[in-house]
Structure 1
């Protein structure tokens, strides 16, 4: 009730309901991957999609470069994460991927952009009402 009321009074879009870790990736990890985002979402607060299953497969990780990294950074930035779109999977990108995972794909928080992370991010972007 309280969160729904605050979001309504201030016209806060669902996707703007954030965690400390979303705002300050790499510096903050709270509220952490055990926070009940699903419960909040089911009560009408926040933005969430079903996380894609974690499976083995290709990944993007620290040190990788190129178009796939740039696409990942672009999608994270489009959702609102503060990440430089450089095409280089650097420490900042890793911290942002970890923050994303903590909030939207908490089953495995490791800063590696695996298929589950990418598919969950794509689902999230597709579900934003613009």
Structure 2
């Protein structure tokens, strides 16, 4: 009985013990070894109109950090704090990182995407206002987070087997040439590698490894499977939008080789 009483008394005393209101000092000592959550910027089209896009992106299933509508007079809408993890990338991979929702800011542009005519996909262009808003946003984000230019990507770059956005009308070359945004190859290096003998001397695996080294989720297996062709197609839509048939050719080789020479250490 005494033992039971002692246990009850100890429990009561423990429960009544208050925890001091300790001060948290965030100024005296500061860590210097850290990095930001945001390492990528992913560009999307919404595949819908303004109102349907707003409803979808403020609903329970998908989200993005920024939305640019088709209405030129409207502002850029910030739907989610950049510190929060948006649901826009889905199953994804680039430069060895997977699940890019964890490490990216999503930018959605209202655009219908494409229509199907026979066996062809016909993509829709963007408005000038939309592109200028993208420029404004990317300048700010890439500066604040010190984003590597190769990490400003499209949804199709990180999920080539299931996505096409932002499509071949997104002006990656213009963004680089006119505004210094993103990655692009040097023409002189491209011309040097536009060499049939050089290209044919490489094995399929060596060519595939160039895509992998740059960041694309290419399977280095010596086969141009349907999946690997989709990777090539995504690359072509980004860097050679005039022809994006998914077929590996000399020009595509010269571009990926020039990009590796410029950006891959």
- TM-score normalised per structure 1: 0.83
- Which of 243, 250, 256 is matched with 1:121 structurally? 256
SS in 1 for 2:236: helix
Deviation for aligned residue 1:50: 5.5
SS in 2 for 1:18: strand
The CA RMSD over aligned residues, in Å, is 2.3
Matches within 5 A, 1:34-113: 34-41=169-176, 42-49=178-185, 68-113=203-248
Q: Is the 8 A contact 2:155 2:163 kept in 1?
A: yes
Higher relative contact order (CA 8 A, sep 6+): 1
User: Matches of 2:204 and 2:264 in 1, distance apart?
Assistant: 25
User: Matches of 1:2 and 1:95 in 2, distance apart?
Assistant: 29
User: Matches of 1:72 and 1:39 in 2, distance apart?
Assistant: 27
Which has the larger strand fraction?
A: 2
Aligned residue pairs: how many? 121
Residue 12, structure 1, aligned to residue 147, structure 2: yes
Greater Rg over alpha carbons, structure: 2
The runs of at least 4 consecutive aligned structure 1 residues that moved more than 4 Å come to: 50-53
SS in 1 for 2:153: coil
Distance 1:114 1:129, change over 3 A: closer
Q: Is the 8 A contact 2:173 2:239 kept in 1?
A: no
Deviation for aligned residue 1:68: 2.1
Which has the larger helix fraction?
A: 1
Q: Is the 8 A contact 2:204 2:222 kept in 1?
A: yes
User: Matches of 2:228 and 2:149 in 1, distance apart?
Assistant: 24
Deviation for aligned residue 1:71: 1.1
Q: Which runs of 5+ in 1 are unaligned?
A: 59-66
Distance 1:129 1:92, change over 3 A: closer
Alignment deviations for residues 32-53 of structure 1 (CA, whole Å, 9 cap, x no partner) = 1111112211212100126768
Alignment deviations for residues 56-102 of structure 1 (CA, whole Å, 9 cap, x no partner) = x79xxxxxxxx621112100000001122111111111010000000
